[in-house]
Structure 1
Amino acid sequence: MHGPVLQDSKTKIVATVGPACQQPEQLADLIRAGVDVFRINTAHGSIADHEQKVMAIRQASKQVGCHVGILLDLAGPKIRLGELFCDPLQCDVGKTLTFIKEGAPQSDDQLTSTYPKLIDELQPGNHVMLADGQVALEVESVNADHAVCRVTAAGEVRSRQGINLPGVQLSVSALQRADIENAIWAADNEIDFISLSFVRNAGDVMSLRNVLTAHESEAMVIAKIEKPEALENLQDIVQAADGVMVARGDLGVEIDVAQTPVAQKRIIQVCNAMGKPVIVATQMLESMHHSVRPTRAEASDVANAILDGADACMLSGETAVGDYPLQSVQMMSRILSTTEQTLSERTALQERLEASDPTHLVHPITAAVTHAATVVAESIEAAMIIIATKSGSTAWVKSRSRSLIPTLAVSDRSASLRRMNLFWGIRPVAMSRMGPPAEIREQVCNWAKAEGSLKSGDRIVFVSGTGVVQNAHNSVVVYVVD
């Protein structure tokens, strides 16, 4: 058996792979620093590029000796500017810019987009945000061939930068042809998590799930919340998905930026209540693109995400293209570990998690036994909880307790081990064969002692199934290490 040494941080770290960290040796260093899941952004590169990243991640995982998860982030219907006549283009307040339907721009005040139906779906009074909200336009008039807009917030734009249309009802599907191709490739390559961009309703989530089911994929579907419509349909989306990502980049442009913190808290609360893992993403340590230290505001942002109940925090450009990818992961881990120490006191978060019903995730007996095991472990100050699991569902339920007692989840299924990397406070450990409970317990204890995580006299709580109740964990054993 093998797995990572127990680390201080229980909140999981997702790191984006890019030019700054795409070699196996670099990725191995990031795993050692605390990365649990690597993200591959399909908005950049081809399937051949993604294959190289997957190979490097799996080689790095083998070097370190643990099963790191991989998240494939589908680009979705991201609308972008076409090529500009004048690049870059300075947009001053009051300047008139015109989106044209066909042809290339013939002057610096003409714009094109990658979305063919843009002009058909714009109406006077709509707002158009360019370059992640740096430049704001208001639509003044629309006809069959063009839409005239006036600049209301000044700034500079470049070719191919993003267009956001807050409040505009678009007919474009959340799952594009390229997304379907990438999803099928992900299914064929046993990718663990697949996130869908610009989700608007539960139907978008089910479209992706149907593609994965048709290709016999066990990947967890992660819904990215970044549209106003998603907030309106939040409970249905969370119910349909296996997990959620608070994608604050586009969300902060699609809604008023002042509303973004409140929206984040609400999303996390709904996910906690429904037992779904939630990732907080975008600009968490933004200044570490070019600085070895984050700002105090960024450190507070990460800490508040944990206190709100996030299961994972994500690094984007900080690791993909930043100057300090390793230091960014190390800093994230330090902030997580320090913040988690405050969870030792009973919090409103813990009360909210315990009040929710986990029986929809697993057999009700498993849910009850897992809860009881955590209570027992807390009361006897156990050094460790060990869960023997095939699918990882029992570990999922345990993660909801936010107990600070180190928890190992043992499995002989590689896919389950990789998926458990997203579950708060769970450290997956691989076992070549799942034998009888007593045998598993002895092997895990011997391994943990060799790793320095256990010593003689420590108490552990072991959760397993005896086979008396089919498909359920029904046994809790308290064991003292020899």
Structure 2
Amino acid sequence: MLPLSHRTKIVATLGPASSSPEIIRQLIEAGMTVARLNFSHGSYEDHATTIQRIREASEALDCPVTLLQDLQGPKVRVAQLPDRAGFQGQSAGAISLIQEAPIDLVPQDRADDCPNAIPIDYPFLAEEAELGMRILLDDGQLELEAIAIAPPVVTCKVIRGGLLKSRKGVNFPSLNLRLPSLTEKDRQDLEFGIVQGVDWVALSFVRTAEDIRTLKTFLRDRGAPNLPVIAKIEKPQAIAHLDDLVRECDGLMVARGDLGVEMKPEKVPLLQKKIIRACNQAGIPVITATQMLESMIENSRPTRAEASDVANAIADGTDAVMLSGESAVGKHPVAAVAMMARIASAMEPELEFVNFPPTEFSETNALSEALNVIDKIINLCCIAAFTTTGYTAKLAAAERPGVPVVAFTPEPLTYHRLNLIWGVIPLLIEEPVTSVESLVTAVENILRQRQIARSGDKILILGGSPIQQVRGTNFLKIHTLRDR
């Protein structure tokens, strides 16, 4: 098992730059704990090969890697632009939008009727459009304003111009679009992900808690009711329903790319803090994503501002920080993961996290609260949490203790899923455990073998009696490793 110098988890998106067996191994060795599979790109064959390579490297290194399936979601895009000379004057599959000039938008099925318009793959635009509304293209690089509506055409004025290429994204910040939370592609991708054994699934462009319920119903109908779901927060409607989403999902992602397009960029830093705090209070994991080390797509070192961005997210209490293009298509994927690990390792010893009151008044929550006091009084080596579902380990980690939470579990699914959770070191316990005494013996033996603890170290054991009772955590035990 690899030594873990940081408790903030690192999510790396795998892609052409990082899908070879050797690079995957190096990413794990550098500190990657979660591999993100972006289903906006790649074939099923590509993803299946990558998943197999991740599992093989994980087993060879004796280190769990969490597989995160990120669904594409209902993204509106520019359709294929026609290759016509004189079409706003530009190259094949692209047009130049000139500031202050008019330009028409039409549904792609009416493109032949309006040869000089921009076709988009959303059929209801003219029905829902409002005069004066903003329309953003290509991650907000280009901006239009609606000045006339004559169905099916919406005429716009170019506010911020530039080159527009086919298949670029289109955002309508003021509209609640008539789009399903799960597209047909998402459903097919989920079927594939379930068969492949992904550990978490992320739903894109979430608007309300009903979107999460729709996904969970689909998973239940497909025999995967316990597959945990992450809501990606990238729409204004999601911010408006944040409390409901926190209650309904298993984790959140601060997806700052589209969030910064749909909302004013100056609002994103405070929203990031608000989302992280809400997740910390609820005891669910949160990932901070997008452009964290963007310059490392090309450069071997990040900017000082990017390093500070990662550090501030860690100080805010994020469970994980994420790389997108940096690891998927960048020139330095391993260096980017290693840099995140170095920043986390430098930050964490200096932090004192806020401990929030319990969300439930149960025995397990009470014990999790108590471990905080014990951690502050006794010089512990680690907290050993015996868990079947992962629930106990997540509660313990949510307290942000000063020592690692070593999660002992007999369940391979739990073993892999827990590596997304801040401060948790998952360990698969294969020997039978039938009593508290055998649990203590197994914990001590494994901690010694893994060189996590040695004679004289104090550990805090969190578990349940009778053993292996789901959500049956009901005891704490301070245990000192004796000389052998």
TM-score of Structure 1 vs Structure 2, range by shorter chain: over 0.9
Residue 276 in structure 1 maps to residue 284 in structure 2: yes
Q: In structure 2, how many angstroms separate the alpha carbons of the residues matched to 1:108 and 1:323?
A: 40
Give the length in aligned residue pairs. Answer: 469
1:46 is aligned to: 43
- The residue correspondences of 1:92-107 to structure 2 (distance < 5 A) are 92-101=98-107, 102-104=109-111
Out of 80, 84, 88, the position equivalent to 1:83 is 80
Structure 1: 5+ residue stretches without partners: none
**Compared with structure 1, are the counterparts of its residues 447 and 116 closer, same or farther at alpha carbon in structure 2 (3 Å cutoff)?**
same
What stretches of structure 2 of length at least 5 have no aligned partner? Answer: 83-89
Over 3 Å counting, the alpha-carbon distance change for 1:108 and 1:306 in structure 2 is farther
In structure 2, what is the Cα distance between the partners aligned to 1:336 and 1:249? 22
Higher mean C-alpha deviation, range 268-277 or range 253-262? 268-277
- Aligned partners of 2:386, 2:468: CA distance in 1, in Å? 15
Distance 2:132 2:46 in 1: 41
Aligned with 2:316 (options 292, 308, 311): 308
Q: How many Å separate the matches in 2 of 1:119 and 1:433?
A: 64
Q: What TM-score do the two structures reach when normalised by structure 2? A: 0.93
SS for the counterpart of 1:152 is strand
Task: Give 1:71's match in structure 2, choosing from 51, 68, 71.
Answer: 68
**Residue deviations 1:315-337, cap 9 Å, x none?**
11111000000000000011111
Q: Deviations over 1:290-317 (max 9, x none)?
A: 1111111111111111111111111111
Q: Which residue in 2 is equivalent to 1:463?
A: 462
- 1:239 corresponds to which residue? 247
Superposed counterparts of 1:218-257, under 5 Å: 218-257=226-265
Q: Give the aligned partner of residue 173 of structure 2.
A: 166
After superposition, what is the alpha-carbon deviation per residue over 1:71-99, rounded to whole angstroms, capped at 9, x for unaligned?
A: 11111111111122343322221122111
Q: Is the 8 A contact 1:12 1:35 kept in 2?
A: yes
Shift of 1:272: 1.5
Equivalent residue number for residue 87 of structure 2: none
Equivalent residue in structure 2 for 1:34, among 21, 31, 49: 31
Name which of structure 1's ranges 303-312 and 374-383 shifts more when overlaid on structure 2: 374-383
What CA distance in whole angstroms lies between the structure 2 residues aligned with 1:229 and 1:377? 40
| Deviation of 1:180 (Å) | 1.2
Given that residues 387 and 468 in structure 2 are in contact (C-alpha distance below 8 angstroms), is that contact kept between their aligned partners in structure 1?
no
Distance 1:462 1:323, change over 3 A: same
Q: 2:375 matched to 1:377?
A: yes
Task: Say what the alpha-carbon RMSD is for the aligned residues.
Answer: 1.9
Shift of 1:416: 0.6
- State the secondary structure of the residue aligned to 2:291: coil
Native 8 Å contact 1:183 1:211 kept in 2: no
In 2: Cα distance, 1:412 partner to 1:48 partner: 31
Aligned-partner Cα distance in 2 for 1:59–1:291: 30
Q: 1:350-365 maps to which residues of 2 (within 5 A)?
A: 350=354, 354-359=355-360, 364-365=362-363
Structure 1 residues 193-250: Cα deviation after superposition (integer angstroms, max 9, x where no partner): 1111111101001000100111221211100111111111110111111110010000
2:213 aligned with 1:212, yes or no?
no
Tell me how far apart the structure 1 counterparts of residues 254 and 27 of structure 2 sit (CA, whole Å). 23
Residue 47 of structure 1, CA deviation? 2.6
Q: Give 1:385's aligned amino acid.
A: I
What secondary structure, in the 3-state scheme, does the structure 1 residue paired with 2:57 have? Answer: helix
Where does residue 123 of structure 2 map in the other structure? Answer: 116
Cα drift, residue 381 of structure 1: 0.6
* Equivalent position to 2:346, from 338, 341, 356: 338
Residues 120-163 of structure 1, C-alpha deviations (whole Å, 9 max, x = no match) = 32222111101100000001111122111111012222111111
In the alignment, what sits opposite 2:85?
Answer: none
Alignment partner, residue 410 of structure 2: 412
Letter in 2 for 1:73: D
- Check 1:133–1:469 CA distance in 2 against 1; reply closer, same or farther (3 A cut): closer
Give the superposition deviation at 1:104.
4.2
Distance 1:420 1:187 in 2: 18
Q: What is the rounded CA distance, in whole Å, between the counterparts of 2:22 and 2:32 in structure 1?
A: 14
Distance 1:271 1:301 in 2: 19
Q: Work out which of the residue numbers 321, 324, 330 in structure 1 matches 2:329.
A: 321
* Secondary structure at the counterpart of residue 46 of structure 2: helix
Once superposed, which parts of structure 1, at least 4 consecutive aligned residues long, lie more than 4 Å away?
103-109, 468-471
- 1:197 paired residue number: 204
Matched, 1:480 2:477: no
* Residue number among 150, 156, 161 corresponding to 1:143 in the alignment: 150
2:397 is matched with 399
Shift of 1:107: 8.9
What is the aligned counterpart of 1:131 among 135, 138, 144?
A: 138
Q: Is the 8 A contact 2:382 2:459 kept in 1?
A: yes
Q: 1:466 Cα deviation (Å)?
A: 2.1
1:134, 1:253 → 2: CA distance?
9
3-state SS of paired residue (1:270)? helix
Moved more, 471-480 or 460-469: 460-469
Cα deviation per residue 1:262-304 (whole Å; 9 max; x = unaligned)?
1111111211222221111000110010111111111111111
- Residue 383 of structure 1: how far off its partner (Å): 1.1
Secondary structure of 1:140's match? strand
The percentage of aligned residue pairs carrying the same residue is 38
In 1, the alpha carbon distance for the partners of 2:123 and 2:106 equals: 10
1:341-378, Cα deviation, whole Å (9 max, x unpaired): 111xx4xx41xxx3332427xxx112222332342233
Find the counterpart in structure 1 of residue 445 from structure 2. 446
Measure the CA separation in 2 of the matches of 1:284 and 1:384: 30
Q: Secondary structure at the match of 1:147?
A: strand
SS at match of 2:79: coil
* Deviations 1:100-135, CA, capped at 9 Å, x for gaps: 233547999521112222333222211110110000
Secondary structure at the residue paired with 2:380? coil
Contact map agreement 2:37 2:67 (CA 8 A) in 1: yes
Q: How far apart, CA to CA, are the structure 2 residues paired with 1:286 and 1:106?
A: 41
Instruction: Note the C-alpha offset of 1:397.
Output: 0.4
Measured in 2, the distance between the counterparts of 1:90 and 1:296 equals 34
Contact 2:229-2:250 at 8 Å conserved across structures: yes
CA–CA separation in structure 1 for the residues paired with 2:33 and 2:397:
15
